[in-house]
């Protein structure tokens, strides 16, 4: 299908000068530093754009026009003390909008294209959960099986199914998350625990090892024709989903598929109560668990993390894995001295 608007602008960090404030006023005053910032994601959703890309150019112009009108009609004190400020604001938004539209334009995928892909996707039922059954998802399962012991494979499968359940019960998530992208991310999220050792580096966190391995897997699948329609954006979503799945203070602010992947993983460790949306039931949890037994998940993961703290401790000093090293690995605490984040700050160069 021909895309009638193939380019889009995504409001984001590269250009923080464009700000949407509340319904009363908009200001752009760099000198006074009176910048009221609304998050990029909130601005995307508030403008009614498609949630997998950015804002259509026509929509962006509409947003900019509304900002101008709000600023023109407001009686904010800052505006009143600057002569000709409204005219300068008008010039700013007119020029800046044009520059941003051309500078940061990127391919755009409307919701109807995602819906089309979702409606045409092959599915199957695993433990009563409907999931995608495309060649790349099948290949991902085979790849995970080849690089995982039984405990790890069962864990990633449960994590995938829990995430799929949560997504399916949320109309917003089910209409914005590509199930194939979620499936690949969830199934491959622990390649950094590779039981064969082939995918484990000596200098990277296991989450990064897994993200890199998943990216390479997708590239290979594209070359062989197993995967179809995987652009850089979808691959990056998988990379982020895997690399960030152990960092809730970060992943909860990422794209929906990144958050959903991690939510399914956390549900496997802590059960339905960890799902703040309360969509996963205990009946569903036990049905999935019966299909893919836990096999001492907690203690087994602890052994894996202690192994990293022993064999590549430098990858554990700045994150949650350090706690395992301190508590369970002999000599770790002494070896960690001088390598912690606080040591770097304390050793900062003088003025």
pLDDT at residue 336 in the model: 87
Supply the pTM of this predicted model: 0.68
CATH number, domain containing residue 254 = 1.10.3210
% the chain with pLDDT above 70: 66
Residues 189-212 have a mean pLDDT of 97
Residues 66-73 have a mean pLDDT of 57
Residues 211-238 have a mean pLDDT of 97
**Of the candidates 262, 279, 295, which is a domain's last residue?**
295
Kindly tell me if the per-residue pLDDT of 341 is higher than 80. Answer: no
Residues 142-165 have a mean pLDDT of 98
The reply to whether 320 falls in a domain is yes
pLDDT at residue 114 in the model: 59
Q: Contact 193/152 with Cβ under 8 angstroms?
A: yes
Domain count, the chain: 3
The reply to whether 2 falls in a domain is no
Residues 110-121 have a mean pLDDT of 61
What one-character-per-residue DSSP string does 146-178 give? HT--HHHHHHHHHHHHHHHHHHHT-HHHHHHS-
The reply to whether 351 falls in a domain is no
Q: How many CB atoms lie within 10 A of CB 218?
A: 23
Residue 234 CA to residue 251 CA, distance in Å, equals 16
Confidence of residue 63 (pLDDT cuts 50, 70, 90): low
pLDDT at residue 267 in the model: 96
pLDDT, tens digit (0-9, with 9 covering 90-100), for 255-310: 999 999 999 999 999 999 887 778 999 999 999 999 999 999 999 999 999 999 99
Confidence of residue 171 (pLDDT cuts 50, 70, 90): very high
Three-class secondary structure assignment of 290-301: HHCCCCCHHHHH
Q: What is the CA radius of gyration of the chain?
A: 24
> Are 214 and 145 part of one and the same domain?
yes
Question: String of b and e for 167-206 (b: at least 16 CB within 10 Å)?
Answer: bbbbeebeebbbbbbbbbbbbbbbbbbbbeeebbeeebbb
**Crossing angle for the helix pair 232-243 and 206-224, nearest 10 degrees?**
150
> Are 250 and 328 part of one and the same domain?
no
Pick the more confident residue, 268 or 94. 268
Kindly tell me if the per-residue pLDDT of 42 is higher than 70. Answer: no
> Are 133 and 261 part of one and the same domain?
yes
Residues 230-235 have a mean pLDDT of 96
Burial (CB count <10 Å: 0-12, 13-18, 19+), residue 133 = middle
Domain, as residue range, for 44: 7-111
């Amino acid at each position: 299908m021909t895309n009638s608007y193939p380019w889009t602008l995504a409001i984001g960090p590269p250009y923080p000068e464009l700000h949407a404030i509340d319904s009363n006023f908009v200001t752009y005053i760099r000198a006074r530093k009176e910048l009221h910032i609304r998050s990029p994601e909130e601005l995307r959703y508030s403008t009614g754009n498609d949630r997998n890309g950015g804002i259509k150019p026509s929509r962006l112009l509409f947003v900019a026009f509304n900002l101008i009108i709000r600023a023109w009609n407001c009686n904010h004190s800052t505006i009143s003390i600057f002569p000709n400020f409204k005219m300068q604001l008008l010039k700013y938004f007119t020029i800046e909008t044009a520059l941003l539209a051309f500078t940061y334009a990127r391919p755009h995928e409307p919701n109807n294209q995602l819906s089309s892909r979702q409606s045409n996707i092959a599915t199957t039922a695993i433990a009563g959960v409907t999931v995608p059954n495309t060649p790349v998802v099948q290949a991902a399962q085979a790849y995970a099986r080849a690089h995982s012991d039984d405990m790890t494979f069962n864990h990633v499968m449960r994590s995938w199914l829990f995430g799929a359940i949560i997504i399916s019960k949320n109309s917003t998530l089910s209409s914005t998350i590509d199930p194939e992208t979620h499936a690949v991310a969830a199934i491959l999220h622990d390649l950094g625990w590779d039981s064969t050792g082939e995918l484990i580096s000596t200098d990277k966190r296991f989450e990064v090892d897994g993200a890199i391995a998943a990216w390479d897997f997708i590239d290979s699948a594209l070359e062989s024709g197993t995967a179809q329609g995987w652009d850089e954006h979808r691959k990056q979503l998988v990379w982020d989903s895997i690399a960030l799945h152990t960092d809730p203070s970060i992943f909860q602010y990422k794209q929906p598929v990144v958050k959903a992947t991690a939510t399914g993983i956390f549900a496997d460790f802590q059960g339905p109560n960890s799902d703040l949306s309360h969509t996963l039931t205990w009946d569903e949890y036990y049905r999935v668990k019966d299909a893919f037994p836990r096999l001492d998940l907690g203690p087994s993961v602890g052994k894996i993390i202690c192994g990293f703290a022993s064999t590549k401790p430098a990858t554990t000093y700045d994150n949650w894995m350090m706690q395992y090293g301190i508590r369970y690995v002999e000599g770790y605490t002494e070896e960690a001295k001088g390598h912690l984040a606080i040591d770097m700050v304390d050793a900062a160069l003088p003025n």
